[in-house]
Chains A and B, each alone.
Chain A
Amino acid sequence: SQTIHQWPATLVQPVGSPLSLECTVEGTSNPNLYWYRQAAGRGLQLLFYSVGIGQISSEVPQNLSASRPQDRQFILSSKKLLLSDSGFYLCAWSKYGGGTGMGKTQYFGPGTRLLVL
């Protein structure tokens, strides 16, 4: 079976500090990977998605970036955090195959709570 991990679970960082959140998926190959942010009381905002190693699509202009150094690893980064970066960050994966229902079915990790002070 497939498993998705995110770490850390919680992070408190000062404004202007760097950020690195990691997401890994087990039990599948060549997954589609996604980063979402969920601000308090709001829905999900898609930040980045990736269909393969080194292939990153950005949905929202911001001071965040994403990388996919390995097939099942997805990293969210920032060089300098802003107060507005606080939120709940969710990683998700789906099976490779964009034209199919299975390719669109996303499975979420447990999330990382980020508080920027």
Chain B
Amino acid sequence: AQSVTQPDIHITVSEGASLELRCNYSYGATPYLFWYVQSPGQGLQLLLKYFSGDTLVQGIKGFEAEFKRSQSSFNLRKPSVHWSDAAEYFCAVGAGGGGNKLTFGTGTQLKVEL
């Protein structure tokens, strides 16, 4: 069974600074990978996804993520953080083949200092 680890529970960055949120997965084959963002009291919004092909994927709100098979990682990055990026971020993995379930990480809470 697949698993996802987000090692950072909380991260604080200054507005305008760069951001990297870590995500490591465990899965034997090429996984389907996702990043979601959740603002307080709201549902999850899809930021970006990786299925195959180019390992650097671009998403909404200026975010990007890079799939590194050798490191089993799918880290989320943004070159310059805005105060509105403060939220919780979830990494998720889906297995190949049949089945539709995703396995989510426990999330990283991002705080942005002005």
Q: Do the two chains belong together in a single complex?
A: yes
Chain A contacts to B: CB under 8 angstroms: 6, 32, 42-44, 46, 49, 51, 90, 92, 94, 98-99, 101, 103-111, 113
By beta carbon, the residue of chain B nearest A96 is B100
**Chain A contacts of B98 at CB under 8 A?**
98-99
Q: Is the CB of A43 within 8 A of B97?
A: no
13 A-B residue contacts at CB 8 Å? Answer: A42-B106, A43-B105, A43-B107, A51-B100, A94-B100, A99-B98, A101-B52, A103-B100, A105-B46, A107-B46, A108-B43, A108-B45, A110-B43
> What mask results when residues 66 to 77 of chain B are scored 1 for a CB within 8 Å of chain A, else 0?
000000000000
| A32–B36 alpha-carbon span in the complex (Å) | 18
Q: How many residues of B contact A (CB 8 A)?
A: 25
A46 contact from B41, B51, B101, Cβ within 8 A? B101
The 7 lowest CB-CB distance pairs between A and B, nearest first, are A101-B51, A104-B94, A108-B43, A43-B106, A108-B44, A98-B100, A98-B98
Chain B contacts to A: CB under 8 angstroms: 32, 34, 36, 41-46, 49, 51-52, 90, 94, 96-102, 104-107
- Contact of A99 with B97 at beta-carbon distance under 8 Å, contacts A42-B106, A43-B104, A43-B107 already known: yes
CB distance from A88 to the nearest CB of B (A): 8
| A66–B99 alpha-carbon span in the complex (Å) | 19
**Chain B contacts of A104 at CB under 8 A?**
32, 94, 100, 102
Q: Is the CB of B49 within 8 A of A106?
A: no
**Chain A contacts of B94 at CB under 8 A?**
101, 104
By beta carbon, the residue of chain B nearest A107 is B46
**Chain B contacts of A105 at CB under 8 A?**
34, 46, 49
| A49–B36 alpha-carbon span in the complex (Å) | 19
**Chain B contacts of A107 at CB under 8 A?**
46
Interface centre among A32, A42, A92, A101 (most CB of B within 10 A): A101
Q: Is the CB of B106 within 8 A of A106?
A: no
